[in-house]
Amino acid sequence: VLQIFNFEKSDVGSYHAALNSNEISAPAQLSLQIPPAIEIREGFEDKAVLKAHTDLDFQVFVTGEPSPTVSILHNHSQIKDRALVKVDDDVTKIRMKNLTLADSGFIEISAENACGTSHKDFELCVVDVPSAPLELSSSNTTSTSTMLTWLAPKDTNGSPITGYAIQRRTLDNPRWRTVGKTNETTLTFEANELFSSEDYEFRVIAVNSVGEGPASTHIEITTLNEDEEQEEKIEIPTETALLETPSTPIVSVDDGKAALSWDTVDGASFYKIERCKEGEDWLEIAIVTRADYADRSIMDDGVYSYRITAKGLNSSSEPSSSSTPLVFEGKKDKDTPTRKTVEDKRSKESKSQQEDVLTKTEDKIEEKADQEKEEAASKPIKTRHASPVDAILDTRQRLKKRKPVEVERRASIQQENTDAKQQEQSEIAPAKKDEEKDVVISAAGTAETSKPPKSGKETEETLVADSTRKRGAPILKPISDVVTVKIGELAKLSVNVEGSTDIHCLWKKDGKTIM
């Protein structure tokens, strides 16, 4: 039996037993097997915190027999893609240059051989300066001071804020000078020792363990001069407590007014009432101490809504919800003429006066036309006359077409009558030469001598001779001036002849002989 004490790696090899030079046993291979072990000599345990823009250097010592296979990952990727890796026997050296926030994560190391596997990892935390403070502003500026306020940065970048640095400069000096500092919780600073009537620029910088971050957006302020400061009065608004919002008002129309009511609000001394017409803005109409009101100030019809705001000495509420839209039709006083009734009255009076003028004008025109007809009727004229039925229809048609406002139409009719008269007088001479006269019966019961038909409006206007005739002329008198006949019945027209018995009587309709 061979026993080896304090076995070392150098004891690994091939062993055999021999009785003599001729008797040697088969060889026995002796090997060493040690599970892998990992050691980081820089002492990183669970976390390594480094500042941005610095380098990460560490060495990994791995033991084991047989020699283990080593793998190093950075955020689940081979570290050689981001770092420099150098292997010397059992030592692996790693260097990551110019760290950034993106390098933060985990580094995982593993070693494996026939005896097993070993793992070790740690967190890499890269910290940077904070981002810039937000919304820097100034207030309460005097001749020698101003009050600055700002908000904390959006990102601390791995290291908490430790304070703020306030810097200022004048417009004619490009160099910024730190004039004050605050702790991490103080976000205001009063800048003093300023000169009156001077322009300044201010900015704020957040600070953490890494250092100062970027500056905020700078602001400009101008201090007051001493005279302005004495005259200026700063009003400090009184804090206003918030009362409970009133209930939605109930609105109804009552005898030409809008009646409102709502629930009282605790702590309210009075109520502001606002009214809104559809499509317009809210209008304050009253302030009352009770929880009801009658609105009599609506002048125009329309759709109206109301809302209520509770008020106190140093308190107020939000406006209530607007009421249900109310359609208002105001009560009109019958005894009081409105603008519309006055205008209607004036229009009627003007129309009446116009009708009077037109009526008088028509009367004069008709009177003159009648005179002309009488003068023309005293002379034997051949004329064409319609039958009684046609005469009635023509008369009705002319009455329908007559309008009081057509003064010019009346004047044109008068002119046509005058033209007709002149034309008829020019035809009298040829008519006298005719030895044989055709007698035409008119609806008025008079005998007329016919004349050639006229065209246009002249065919509609005839001059009827009265009962006065020249000596020896026959007179025809119809039994009836108007004959009414229904469709399908026998129409019978009769006429009496006076003054002569030896005549040849012709019946004509529309200028054509029918019998």
Per-residue pLDDT for 191 more than 80? Answer: yes
CA dihedral 327, 330, 331, 337 (to 10 degrees): -150
Q: What pLDDT, on a 0 to 100 scale, did the predictor assign at position 460?
A: 42
| Overall average pLDDT of the 197-206 stretch | 94
Top-confidence residue, 489 or 347: 489
- DSSP letter, residue 487: T
Q: What pLDDT, on a 0 to 100 scale, did the predictor assign at position 481?
A: 67
| Overall average pLDDT of the 420-435 stretch | 46
Residue type, 368: K
Its pTM stands at: 0.39
- Reference 372, options 300, 320, 420; nearest CA is 420
Residues 226-239 have pLDDT tens digits of: 776 565 555 555 55
Top-confidence residue, 341 or 137: 137
Same fold, 34-127 and 134-231: yes
As given in the structure block, the two tokens for residue 135 are 């919304």
Q: What pLDDT, on a 0 to 100 scale, did the predictor assign at position 352?
A: 64
- Give domain 134-231's CATH architecture: Sandwich (2.60)
**3-class secondary-structure state, position 123:** strand
- In CATH terms, 241-328 corresponds, of 2.10.109.10, 2.60.40.10, 3.40.50.300, 2.60.120.10, to 2.60.40.10
Q: What pLDDT, on a 0 to 100 scale, did the predictor assign at position 19?
A: 73
Instruction: Specify whether the CB–CB gap between 305 and 249 falls below 8 A.
Output: no
Range with the largest mean pLDDT of 81-85, 132-136, 250-254, 312-316: 132-136
Q: What pLDDT, on a 0 to 100 scale, did the predictor assign at position 175?
A: 92
Cα 175 to the center of its chain, rounded Å: 51
Burial of 367 (0-12, 13-18, 19+ CB in 10 A): exposed
* Phi, psi (rounded to 5 degrees) for 396: -65, -40
What share of the chain has pLDDT > 70, as a percent? 66
Angle value at C-alpha 406, between 405 and 412, nearest 5 degrees: 155
Q: What pLDDT, on a 0 to 100 scale, did the predictor assign at position 350?
A: 59
Residues 464-488 have pLDDT tens digits of: 334 344 445 667 666 666 777 767 6
Quote the CA–CA distance of 83 and 127 in Å, as a whole number. Answer: 19
Residues 209-219 have pLDDT tens digits of: 999 999 999 99
**3-class secondary-structure state, position 150:** strand
As given in the structure block, the two tokens for residue 407 are 């003064």
- Cβ within 8 Å of residue 49, ≥6 positions away: 125, 127
- Cβ within 8 Å of residue 473, ≥6 positions away: 380, 447, 499, 500
Q: What pLDDT, on a 0 to 100 scale, did the predictor assign at position 376?
A: 61
Mean pLDDT for the chain?
75
Number of C-beta neighbours around residue 113 at 10 A: 19
Per-residue pLDDT for 76 more than 90? Answer: no
Poorest-confidence range of 128-142, 300-314, 345-359, 383-397? 383-397
Top-confidence residue, 42 or 159: 159
- Give domain 34-127's CATH architecture: Sandwich (2.60)
Work out the widest C-alpha separation in the chain, in whole angstroms: 202
Structural domain boundaries in the chain: 34-127, 134-231, 241-328, 346-513
